Amino acid sequence: MKRQICNSYKGKISQNDLYNCLSLSKSSRYYKSSNNKRGAKPSMLTRKTDGTVSDNKEVIGTLINDVFGQEFNRYGYRLSNEELKAMGFIINHKKTYRLMKENGLLLEKINRIKQKKRWVKFRKIEGACPLEHLCMDIKYVYVHGAKRNAYLLVIMDIATRYVLGWSLGFSMKHTDVILCLHQVLQGYQCKGIFLRTDNGSQFIAHGLRKFCIEREITQEFTHIATPEENSYVESLFSCVNREVICSYEFSSIYHAKEVFKRYFEYHNVKRRRHSLGRKSPLNFWNTMFPNHPVKQQRVLSGGSDKGDDTFKNNNSVSSFIIPLSDPERGLSLLNKDDDSYVDVLNIFKKNVQLIGG
């Protein structure tokens, strides 16, 4: 900057006065920038332990053919440097990094999503519609035959208290949570869904948060030591503890899966809830939200077994479902000029009378 000022006043003021005013040495007036990187130029050759010398192109060829040519090889520059050393090259990790960077051989950098947590603002959700607000949590289930605890993951719709999906296994990682959530939301628009969880390690994992961001799902966390902010699923776990866990001794994890499969079918179709006006979740869903399709229940027992369609052959009034042309969230009513709309409307009116609405 000072040198530019001197050049701008060149010919108007003597160079000695300029350099004296700016406290610059007189020798600096002869400096010319080379626009090159400082320090010694990088070497173009690499020595080997047998005394020979190889060109850097040979080093790159060895990296591509002998190191990265191996199946399943995903080495970074440090492990690649160790491979080159084992092959007889006298090379350090800095030069290996430079050569790999110049030739595009470095692994893709993992960009961690630095996003602040969205905390729960309201404990009670008013005016919710199906598949808009979901909550999930994990509960311990003691398996007597194995003498150890299993993990029960439950995903529930807040508006209808309908259990959309569950998973049971001796381990519960964030990948198991993503798999269960993916099965629940498969076929539905995810944009705009609010997912309420606590601060368990599976729920704060980078993989789950990335899954939610990619699908535009808003994940909100309860405050520390505040289970009442996730009271919907805690109420369900209270029923599970009283009606299942305290009533059964599970001989194996498979026995527990069969019992929970029957229980969640019973809970969704028949069990009455005070919060739903003493109706079952399915009955409440079809009565209050007839234009929101009921998702077929997916049972992910340890991430492998899938349950049968609970409502496939059930034609009772309590399980009546208004058919839609496409299972998407938030769809409007069918075309009123269409004959199918009139048929659906008549069927709905008859079933509302039978239900007592």
Structural domain of 2 = 1-33
> Does residue 133 sit within a domain?
yes
Higher pLDDT, 244 or 5: 244
60 in the same domain as 177? no
Tell me what pLDDT residue 334 has: 43
Residue 210 has pLDDT above 50, yes or no: yes
Tell me what pLDDT residue 331 has: 35
Average pLDDT over residues 205-226: 92
Average pLDDT of the chain is: 80
249 in the same domain as 189? yes
Residue 322 has pLDDT above 90, yes or no: no
> Does residue 94 sit within a domain?
yes
Tokens of 33: 């920038």
243 in the same domain as 96? no
136 in the same domain as 93? no
> Does residue 226 sit within a domain?
yes
227 in the same domain as 85? no
| CATH code, 229 | 3.30.420.10
Per-residue pLDDT of 100-142, as tens digits, reads 999 999 988 766 666 788 888 888 888 888 889 999 999 999 9
161 in the same domain as 243? yes
User: Could you tell me the pLDDT band of residue 346, with boundaries at 50, 70 and 90?
Assistant: low
311 in the same domain as 189? yes
Residue 268 has pLDDT above 60, yes or no: yes
290 touches 345 (CB < 8 A):
no
94 in the same domain as 218? no
> Does residue 115 sit within a domain?
no
Per-residue pLDDT of 52-71, as tens digits, reads 999 999 999 999 999 998 88
146 in the same domain as 64? no
> Does residue 26 sit within a domain?
yes
> Does residue 160 sit within a domain?
yes
> Does residue 116 sit within a domain?
no
pTM for the structure as a whole? 0.59
182 in the same domain as 54? no
189 in the same domain as 138? yes
Residues 6+ apart with CB under 8 A from 217: 190, 191, 193, 194, 195, 211
Total tally of structural domains belonging to the chain: 3
261 in the same domain as 177? yes
Residue 313 has pLDDT above 60, yes or no: no
Residue 11 has pLDDT above 70, yes or no: no
Tell me what pLDDT residue 16 has: 74
> Does residue 113 sit within a domain?
no
